[in-house]
Structure formats: structure tokens, C-alpha cells
Amino acid sequence: MEFKGSHILSIRQFERGDIDTLFATADSMEPYAQRRRVTRVLEGAILGNMFFEPSTRTRVSFGCAFNLLGGEVRETTGFSSSAVVKGESLQDTARVLSGYSDIICMRHPDSGSVADFASTSRVPVINGGDGPNEHPTQALLDLYTIEKELSARGRNLDNLRIAMVGDLKFGRTVHSLCKLLMLYKQVSITLVSPPELAMPAELVDEMRSAGIAVEQTDQLDQGIARAHIVYSTRIQEERFASVEEADMYRGKMRINQSIYTRHCEPNTVIMHPLPRDSRSDANELDTDLDDNPNLAIFRQADNGILVRMALFAQVLGVAHMVDQYSHDVRWHHRRG
């Protein structure tokens, strides 16, 4: 794909070579993400961050990533603070905001809404999650994390065995990650969910046609038994018809240290896009795993900065100039 000037709406836009390019750029962002060096390569540029659904990681890490490249961020959060509540269409909103920004990140509760917005935008638009459909930048940072975690354990993506656990029907992160994994060979995916929250059948069929070995089960212990990566997900309460319906599934696929010790192979990596639901009736990823060195969830969230910096640098065509406009920080840098 041609990164420069492109909208990033779906993970399907990416080929293997694009992923390699992006991840090499992400690696080069480490001194800046760790605040050891400063770059001003995007000085004067403005990111329009438009989040019509709640977000902590995606919204803040997009903003931090842009700031770390020297650009500025303007945010709109929630429908109530946007003229969309007065009946303005997404297309008109895009026509206006693309005059104020050099790139726009957007999250919205409806599938296809970000593409709809992008259709009239004069600047690149990045999908920060459109309803249950896709979350492409999460899939990119997830794959980046999988590669890093496997590499630290002497493995690579070949023959990857991954178990995806939880709400696979509404979870957009797993939808995007499955589409991305179709680019890789000899991948095995075990889908672990209540039958009512199974991965959409058409996506399962597509993965099988692409050569992925897919198993489906509602038995957590069997599903996670041989995995290199266990990718847990939250019950997506906001996509259910009622809270009571979501309550029926909360806590059904709970992983804690005891379950991990009994059923996972040593060094199995635990991932989660976050937020994990830590309320007692859910607790899908127990806090008793927090001292387990194989719990990668916060390294995964940190990687969001690197990958999103890389994406901005590529889409705005400045990846080759980041170091040129840089210097060491003049204050002591963070530890750890």
C-alpha cells in the first residue's frame, strides 16, 4: 500500500511488506516514546482526535504519539460536545474538520461510520474503532506485541498457536486481528467463547480458506491448553440489547493464576486489548496474574505509542526525517 496520504480504515489494506515497514518504523520510535530524545518533525501539524465512544488507550495514545512527533492535538469527545447532536451529518463534519486538521483519528459506535466520514475528508482519517466492525490500529499493535513477546521467548510468528477468548461476536479487536493473521503461514487459532458469542461464521470460513487452522470451543481449559498466546477479551456490554443480556455471559471465561498454572504451557503469553473488566462479576483476567511475567497487557498498551507514532510518520510522509529534527532531552528521562 501507499502509506502517504492514505486513510487507514481496515486492516485489510495491509500486506506483509507494509507490516514489516511499519514495525521497523515503530522500532525506530523507541528513543522518542521513552522520552530520551525529542523530535519536532511534525511541528505545526494538527491531529483532530474525534471520539464518539469512550476510550482511554486509543484516544490518549494517538494524542501522545502525535505530540511525541512534535504535532498538536485537538479533541472532540462524545456526541454531546459535537454538532452531530444538532443533526449535522458525518460527511459535513468531515468537510469542516479536515479544514482544521492535517490528520483525523475517529471512533464511532456504528460499523462503517469512519469510512463514511473519510469519504468527504480532505485529510487522512484513521479508524480508532467503528462499532463491532474493526479496530485496525489495535490489531497492528497486537501483532507487534505478539512478535516481540514471541521473540523474547525464542519464537517467531511461524506456527503460531493463539487462543482468542471471550466475546468474539462483538469484539472488534479480535475481528481485525484475525484478518491480519491471514497474512501469515501455519497459524492455528482456537476460538473460545459461549456459542452465542462466537466469531462471525463468515470470518471463520474466510480464515479457513486462507489456510488458518481454526478450532472453536466453549471449554476454556481445553481452548487455552496448547496456545503460545492467550488473547482474552471483555464482554462488549455496550453492543448488547440490554445489560441483563450481557450479564448472562460476564465471568464465564475467567482466567486467573490457578487456571493458568493448571492449563497453560509454561511461558504462555497473556494478552488483552484492555480495558479488562475487573468488576467481581466479570474479572475475565484476574489481578492475581499481575505479577506473572507472562502477562503482557501493559507492554501491549505501551506498544500502542510506538505503532501509532509509526503510522502517523508513514501516513504523513515524514518517517525518513524523524531523526533529522531531533535532539536529546534536556531533563532526566524516565526509568523502566
Q: Which of 190, 151, 162, 171 is nearest to 277 (CA)?
A: 171
94 φ, ψ (degrees, to nearest 5):
-65, -40
Binding residue (CB under 6 A) for ligand CP from 275, 317, 328, 333: 275
Q: Which residues contact 331 (CB under 8 A, 6 or more apart)?
A: none
CA separation for the pair 214, 205 (Å, rounded): 9
Active-site choice (7, 37, 59, 107): 107
Do residues 245 and 235 touch, judged by C-beta distance below 8 A? no
Question: Is there a catalytic annotation at residue 252?
Answer: no
Residue 301 C-beta: closest distance to ligand CP, Å: 8
Q: Which is nearer to ligand CP, 107 or 228 (CB)?
A: 107
Give the cell for residue 83. Answer: 454538532
Do residues 149 and 299 touch, judged by C-beta distance below 8 A? yes
Under the binding rule (CB under 6 A), the answer on residue 58 touching ligand CP is yes
> In Å, how far from its chain's centre is CA 227?
20
Under the binding rule (CB under 6 A), the answer on residue 112 touching ligand CP is no
Under the binding rule (CB under 6 A), the answer on residue 127 touching ligand CP is no
Under the binding rule (CB under 6 A), the answer on residue 49 touching ligand CP is no
Active-site choice (58, 76, 145, 268): 58
End-to-end CA distance of the chain: 35
CA separation for the pair 208, 198 (Å, rounded): 15
Please name the residue ranges forming H helices in 14-166: 16-28, 30-33, 57-68, 90-100, 113-118, 136-152
Do residues 70 and 40 touch, judged by C-beta distance below 8 A? yes
Interface with ligand CP (CB under 6 A), residue total 10
| Cα angle value 285/63/229 (rounded, 5°) | 30
Q: Which is nearer to ligand CP, 56 or 119 (CB)?
A: 56
**Pattern 244-273, binding to ligand CP, x per CB under 6 A?**
-----------------------------x
Q: Which is nearer to ligand CP, 132 or 273 (CB)?
A: 273
104 φ, ψ (degrees, to nearest 5):
-130, 135
Question: Is there a catalytic annotation at residue 135?
Answer: yes
Torsion-angle region of 225 (φ positive above 0: left; ψ -120 to 50: alpha; else: beta): alpha
Residue 172 C-beta: closest distance to ligand CP, Å: 9
Residue 43 C-beta: closest distance to ligand CP, Å: 27
Residue 75 C-beta: closest distance to ligand CP, Å: 13
Active-site choice (7, 37, 108, 135): 135
Residue 275 C-beta: closest distance to ligand CP, Å: 6
Listed ranges 51-59, 85-93, 253-261, 289-297: which one lies at the site for ligand CP (CB under 6 A): 51-59
Give the cell for residue 3. Answer: 502509506
Under the binding rule (CB under 6 A), the answer on residue 56 touching ligand CP is yes
Listed ranges 49-57, 158-166, 203-211, 214-222: which one lies at the site for ligand CP (CB under 6 A): 49-57
Question: Is there a catalytic annotation at residue 40?
Answer: no
Do residues 233 and 272 touch, judged by C-beta distance below 8 A? yes
Under the binding rule (CB under 6 A), the answer on residue 138 touching ligand CP is yes
Catalytic amino acids? 57-58, 86, 107, 135
Residues forming the site for ligand CP (CB under 6 A)? 55-59, 129, 138, 273-275
